[in-house]
Amino acid sequence: MLPLLLILLVCLSLQTSESASSGSFIHCLLNHSQPSHPISSAIYTTNNGSYSSVLQSYIRNLRFNTTETRKPFLILTALHESHIQAAIVCAQKHNLQMKIRSGGHDYEGVSYVAEVPFFILDMFNLRSIHVDLKSETAWVQAGATLGEVYYRIFEKSKTHGFPAGVCPTVGVGGHFSGGGYGNMMRKYGLSVDNIIDAQIVDVHGRLLNRKSMGEDLFWAIRGGGGASFGVVVSYQIKLVRVPEIVTVFKVTKTLEQNATDIVYKWEQVANKLDENLFIRLILDVVNGTNKVKTGRATFIALFLGDSEQLLSVMKKSFPELGLQKSDCNETSWVQSVLFWTNFPLGTPNDVLLSRIPQVLTYFKRKSDYVKEPISKAGLELIWKKLIELEYVLLTFNPYGGRMGEIPAEAVPFPHRAGNLAKIQYAANWNVAGKNVTDYYIDLTRKLYKFMTPFVSKNPREAFFNYKDLDLGINHNGKASYKEGRVYGIKYFKANFDRLVKIKTKVDPGNFFRNEQSIPTLPN
């Protein structure tokens, strides 16, 4: 009886201290609020009727929307830059953990989950987009989604676009600050290669731009993860030119349709093709004839030109796919985004303004980089493993073109020349429960382990925006630098050391921290 009573007393004590801490924190926020921009309406505590809906509206991985998941004691839905400044000043004063959420697409829930008492600084209200065609630039706030960015650009021009992801509900804040890749990267590089200014609130609560923050910090927040260095409020992006007509296609081949030979040829040419052409490859398992499992290769493409030009390129460089005129869909650039997101062509463009994903699932992701083509024998082994595991798929995104021209140290994202493709491992499931979750995560890890001989080594590289806590977790204690180096080298290679030096300079107390943030140098 006594131990149970002790546990109850401890729990009650923790709840009381959390409540007191929350109360004094709110008092601090109110004291730091500007009369012209009151903060009270942006504060949601667990007692607020809208708290749960605000929390859940930007949880994009159902793994982190369970009763067991620790919830924030408060959500601050910033309406103005001054609210961000107040959050930073008051969180430090009260020694509180702050998580920064833009679109909630962090694969491991790092932007809205923690193991200690914490609050969320939610950015979704800060989503203005100002497109200036004269300078061919746009200012985009961190709470905007990619879909909103594309829609606002297309509103002004049918011949401008921006190189970023193909999932419209992804938030700008995390996507841009972690690299931002998409299907125009072979032509124009990553999002971060086309960012020319930014606004950030630093650890002292100062609102800085490129000039006032300095080139080191500006370098760091273009691929090194903004949440390690401050709160990025907005980015100024350089728009790119796109033709009025682009062409997209999706072609599938099963093992019975010679998929292995076609995939092998894709490996030979995908990173050497015309830079206007991007062909993604997806390997998965489907029911074949007689309901026997078989491997399927799906080729999804964007070509910045018309179908005649595309067919000419394919005939010359990749005739093995057997692309036909009937496979090609000519459309606008903004409609191509919808095609890539599995919307039918002709879907109204304003669907890009929806912030609700088409599907919400439980999922696990991992990443790798391929330096050399995998042999046909290797591909046969991969097919066999995929069929054995059944529920994990591999997505290959080709490099080359502009990606091979930009120096590895230009921004923190280091994966440039010498890469054939990036792999994403994906497992999705729709049933709750720890056993089910463990099963699918284990499948993903098994495939990742199996792929070891076919991918980069020393380090085994990974993409920072495909967050993967299997690569290491930072507990942000005395071993922070040592723990951070484990995953940091995989994500950033030689750029990790520069990121650490910048972090140590701009945030020596490591206030801006999470499970895979950039650490400070050890004392």
H/E/C letters for each residue in 312-357?
HHHHHHCHHHCCCHHHCEEECHHHHHHHHCCCCCCCCHHHHHCCCC
- Reduced to 3 states, what is the DSSP secondary structure of residue 208? strand
List the one residue out of 213, 222, 209, 228 whose CA is nearest residue 172.
222
Amino acid at 514: N
Q: Which residues are 396's β-sheet partners?
A: 281, 423
Per DSSP, 80 falls in state: S
309-317 CB contacts, 8 Å cutoff, 24+ apart: 309/247, 310/247, 310/249, 310/277, 313/273, 313/274, 313/277, 317/269, 317/272, 317/273, 317/274
**DSSP letters spanning 389-405:** H-SEEEEEEE--GGGGT
User: How far is Cα 411 from Cα 208, in angstroms, rounded to an integer?
Assistant: 19
**Cα distances (Å, whole numbers) of residue 437 to 54, 67, 206, 432, 447:** 25, 14, 42, 7, 16
What number of other Cβ atoms are within 10 A of residue 116's Cβ? 8
List the one residue out of 482, 462, 508 whose CA is nearest residue 203.
508
Q: Is 466 a catalytic residue?
A: yes
**Cβ contacts of 250 within 8 Å, gap of 6 or more:** 298, 299, 300, 301, 327, 339
| Buried/exposed 134-156: b ≥16 CB within 10 Å, e otherwise | eeebbbbbbbbbbbbbbbbbbee
Element (H, E) at 287: strand 277-287
Token pair, residue 301, equals: 């493409």
C-alpha radius of gyration, the chain, whole number: 24
Token pair, residue 18, equals: 């959390």
Q: Which of 466, 481, 487, 491 is catalytic?
A: 466
Length of the chain: 523
**Cβ contacts of 55 within 8 Å, gap of 6 or more:** 44, 71, 72, 75, 112, 120
What positions carry a catalytic annotation?
Answer: 466
